[in-house]
């Protein structure tokens, strides 16, 4: 199972196509129970995702499970040069995450904003994370990335176990640029996020905000390709990322049990990615949700 469960919606309302808001406790329990029964092992969370860590911890503490969940959380974002104060902040944040999650150790800890490690003194962050790894509190350390330039800088300066990065049928830049292959050459575990581009890929064309008009022809092409292959939009979008051999896990967030059921049902879909390069775009304004003006 390549699917990993993103949990940002467990702590806040997130996503351009999200009409349901933050997921409530009863639905979180149903989602996690279904994920468990269907072979989903990894839960992806962050200290900045509202109450998501506490919601996960509450469920885990009440669950009888023979196999431990693989939980990944993330550091705070540091906006200034890294000194001892920021290192202490990372440690305190991690300890609080363990407490909220009800865990003595977790699978992974990621630098939430990759640029933090390129600040003056940024190497101290990974050094203290490596110490937590040596102490048995973390199995793997890594970073959350956004661009090919960040990947190049990372590989030139550091060794990490995991990276999380954006990739989808519309955003094929890291595939075309060779960065995925380079990461695998270094033995890095790759987790893909933004596979539905915050739900934009799944929205009916007539409901997409006019701000996206410059790329609507490409979005229509994606919709037409799904019909051509007799797939739903979700199946094609998910199938594209799952078919990339470099990708180890596909992180997907859901607002309901029904959405997770649809994703798990589509988890076996594979497509010929080489034939879909014409659906991609390169304009970062439309590929990075933080730049969207909607």
Residue 253 sits in a domain whose CATH number is: 3.20.20.100
The larger pLDDT score, comparing residue 47 to residue 287, is at: 287
Q: Decide if 202 contacts 234 (C-beta within 8 A).
A: yes
- Condensed to tens digits (0 to 9), the pLDDT of residues 259-277 reads 999 999 999 999 999 999 9
Count up the domains in the chain and report the number. Answer: 1
- Confidence at 19, pLDDT banded by 50, 70, 90: low
Token pair, residue 178, equals: 């060779």
The CA distance from 13 to 111, in Å, is 22
- Confidence at 18, pLDDT banded by 50, 70, 90: very low
Q: Span 167-174, mean pLDDT? A: 98
H runs (alpha helix) in 186-279: 216-228, 233-242, 257-265
Is pTM, for the whole model, over 0.85? yes
Domain of 235 in residue numbering reads as: 3-291
pLDDT of 60 above 90: no
The CA distance from 143 to 165, in Å, is 9
- Confidence at 50, pLDDT banded by 50, 70, 90: confident
pLDDT value, residue 21: 61
Mean pLDDT of the chain: 93
Please identify which residue in the block is written with the tokens 């470099």.
246
Q: Span 184-193, mean pLDDT? A: 97
- Condensed to tens digits (0 to 9), the pLDDT of residues 199-212 reads 999 999 999 999 99
- Confidence at 11, pLDDT banded by 50, 70, 90: confident
The CA distance from 125 to 128, in Å, is 5
- Condensed to tens digits (0 to 9), the pLDDT of residues 20-35 reads 467 888 999 999 999 9
pLDDT of 171 above 50: yes
C-alpha distance from residue 272 to each of 136, 201, 243, 256 (Å): 40, 18, 7, 29
The larger pLDDT score, comparing residue 151 to residue 60, is at: 151
Instruction: Kindly give, in sequence order, each residue whose CB lies less than 8 Å from that of residue 227, ignoring residues fewer than 6 positions away.
Output: none
pLDDT value, residue 16: 52
């Amino acid at each position: 199972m390549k699917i990993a469960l993103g949990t940002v919606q467990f702590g806040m309302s997130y996503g351009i196509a999200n009409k349901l808001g933050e997921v409530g406790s009863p639905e979180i329990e149903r989602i996690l129970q279904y994920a468990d029964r269907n072979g989903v092992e990894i839960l992806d969370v962050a200290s900045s995702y509202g109450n998501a860590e506490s919601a996960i911890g509450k469920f885990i503490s009440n669950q009888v499970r023979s196999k431990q969940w693989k939980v990944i959380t993330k550091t705070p974002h540091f906006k200034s040069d890294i000194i001892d104060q920021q290192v202490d902040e990372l440690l305190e944040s991690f300890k609080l995450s363990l407490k909220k999650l009800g865990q003595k150790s977790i699978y992974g800890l990621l630098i939430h904003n990759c640029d933090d490690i390129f600040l003056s003194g940024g190497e101290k962050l990974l050094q203290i994370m490596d110490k937590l790894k040596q102490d048995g509190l973390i199995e793997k350390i890594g970073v959350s990335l956004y661009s090919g330039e960040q990947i190049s800088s990372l590989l030139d300066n550091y060794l990490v176990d995991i990276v999380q990065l954006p990739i989808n049928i519309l955003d094929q830049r890291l595939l075309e640029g060779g960065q995925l292959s380079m990461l695998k050459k270094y033995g890095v575990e790759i987790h893909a996020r933004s596979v539905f581009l915050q739900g934009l890929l799944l929205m009916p064309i007539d409901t997409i905000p006019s701000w996206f008009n410059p790329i609507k022809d490409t979005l229509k092409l994606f919709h037409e390709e799904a019909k051509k292959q007799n797939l739903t939009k979700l199946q094609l979008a998910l199938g594209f990322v799952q078919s990339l051999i470099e990708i180890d896990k596909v992180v997907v967030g859901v607002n309901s049990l029904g959405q997770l059921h649809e994703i798990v049902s589509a988890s076996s879909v594979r497509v010929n990615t080489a034939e879909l390069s014409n659906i991609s775009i390169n304009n970062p304004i439309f590929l990075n949700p933080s730049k969207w003006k909607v």
